[in-house]
């Protein structure tokens, strides 16, 4: 243990002697030489940069040329994307205008089919009115009016219109509109429709008019 301490003290003494042997000028030169040494990492990065520049120069390109080329490619892609967007927007705008035009046209002409189908009935009524002015045969006139009514009903049914059956049915607020209530003696008719003021109608199974009825109570 004592020998180890003696050796350590001897080494420290020798280091002090070596420092004393350096002159002031030698110490300054040592500091300057240490400061001018470049780190190994910086040297390696410079070497890599030089190698990259050598590779680009072999291809006939500089780093600036490469950046210009990449920028031109990006601008071309952006212009192509913008062109596709403008085309899609124009197509969608044309679709909206066409759809709006078709809807307006359909609204204006939606009744053409039904009106055209009813024109013969209107003609029949005109002829019946003229016949009533000269004919004295009431039975014949009544029969003619019944035929016209049947023709009208057939046309409407062909277009999806269906008359609602109400008399004798239980009152249903979803189908019927109660105009009044009448006291009835028959208990079986209480809460049921005993008379119909206006018929109700379906159009393709959708209620378009509720029946106006009288309900027994």
Give the 3-state secondary structure of 170-216: ECCCCCEEEEEEECCCCHHHCCEEEEEEECCEEECCEEEECEEEEEE
Confidence of residue 10 (pLDDT cuts 50, 70, 90): low
- The whole-number pLDDT of residue 54 equals 57
56 vs 209, higher pLDDT? 209
* Mean pLDDT for the stretch of residues 132-138: 80
pTM listed for this prediction:
0.49
Instruction: Out of 4-13, 80-89, 104-113, 193-202, pick the least confident.
Output: 4-13
Instruction: Out of 40-54, 56-70, 131-145, 153-167, pick the least confident.
Output: 40-54
- The whole-number pLDDT of residue 47 equals 45
Instruction: Out of 40-54, 56-70, 141-155, 172-186, pick the least confident.
Output: 40-54
Q: Could you tell me which residues come within 8 angstroms of residue 193 by beta carbon, excluding any fewer than 6 positions away?
A: 166, 167, 168, 169, 170, 171, 176, 211, 213, 214, 215, 216
Token pair, residue 178, equals: 């109660």
- The whole-number pLDDT of residue 53 equals 54
Annotation: CATH topology of 162-217: Nucleotide Exchange Factor Grpe; Chain A, domain 2 (2.30.22)
Using a CB cutoff of 8 Å and minimum separation of 24, what contacts does 104-113 make? Answer: 113/159
Sign of the C-alpha dihedral computed for residues 185, 188, 190 and 195 taken in this order? negative
- CA 123 vs. chain centroid, Å, equals 50
Please give the DSSP secondary-structure letter assigned to residue 61. Answer: -
- Alpha-carbon distance of 108 to 131, in angstroms, equals 36
- The whole-number pLDDT of residue 43 equals 41
Instruction: Out of 22-36, 52-66, 132-146, 198-212, pick the least confident.
Output: 22-36
pLDDT digits (tens, 9 = 90+) for 175-207: 888 888 888 888 888 888 888 888 899 988 899
177 φ, ψ to 5°?
-120, 115
For the chain, what percent of residues have pLDDT higher than 90? 3
- The whole-number pLDDT of residue 191 equals 82
- The whole-number pLDDT of residue 138 equals 82
- The whole-number pLDDT of residue 55 equals 52
Contact 189, 217 (CB under 8 A): no
- The whole-number pLDDT of residue 3 equals 47
Query: How does the average pLDDT of the chain come out, rounded?
Result: 76
pLDDT digits (tens, 9 = 90+) for 55-85: 555 455 567 777 888 888 888 888 888 888 8
Angle between helices 40-58 and 63-109 in degrees, nearest 10:
70
Instruction: Out of 15-29, 106-120, 201-215, pick the least confident.
Output: 15-29
């Amino acid at each position: 243990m004592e020998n180890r301490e003696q050796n350590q003290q001897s080494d420290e003494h020798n280091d002090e002697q070596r420092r004393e042997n350096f002159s002031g000028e030698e110490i300054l030169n040592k500091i300057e030489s240490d400061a001018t040494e470049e780190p190994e990492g910086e040297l390696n990065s410079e070497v890599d940069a030089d190698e990259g520049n050598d590779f680009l120069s072999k291809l006939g390109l500089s780093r600036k040329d490469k950046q210009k080329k990449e920028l031109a490619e990006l601008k071309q892609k952006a212009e192509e994307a913008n062109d596709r967007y403008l085309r899609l927007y124009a197509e969608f705008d044309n679709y909206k205008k066409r759809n709006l035009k078709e809807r307006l046209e359909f609204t204006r002409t939606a009744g053409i089919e039904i009106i055209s189908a009813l024109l013969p009935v209107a003609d029949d009524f005109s002829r019946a009115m003229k016949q009533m002015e000269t004919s004295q045969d009431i039975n014949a006139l009544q029969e003619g009016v019944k035929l016209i009514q049947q023709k009208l009903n057939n046309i409407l049914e062909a277009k999806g219109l269906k008359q609602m059956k109400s008399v004798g049915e239980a009152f249903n607020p979803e189908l019927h509109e109660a105009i009044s209530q009448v006291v009835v003696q028959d208990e079986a008719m209480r809460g049921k429709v005993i008379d119909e003021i206006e018929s109700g109608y379906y159009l393709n199974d959708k209620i378009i008019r509720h029946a106006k009825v009288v309900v027994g109570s």
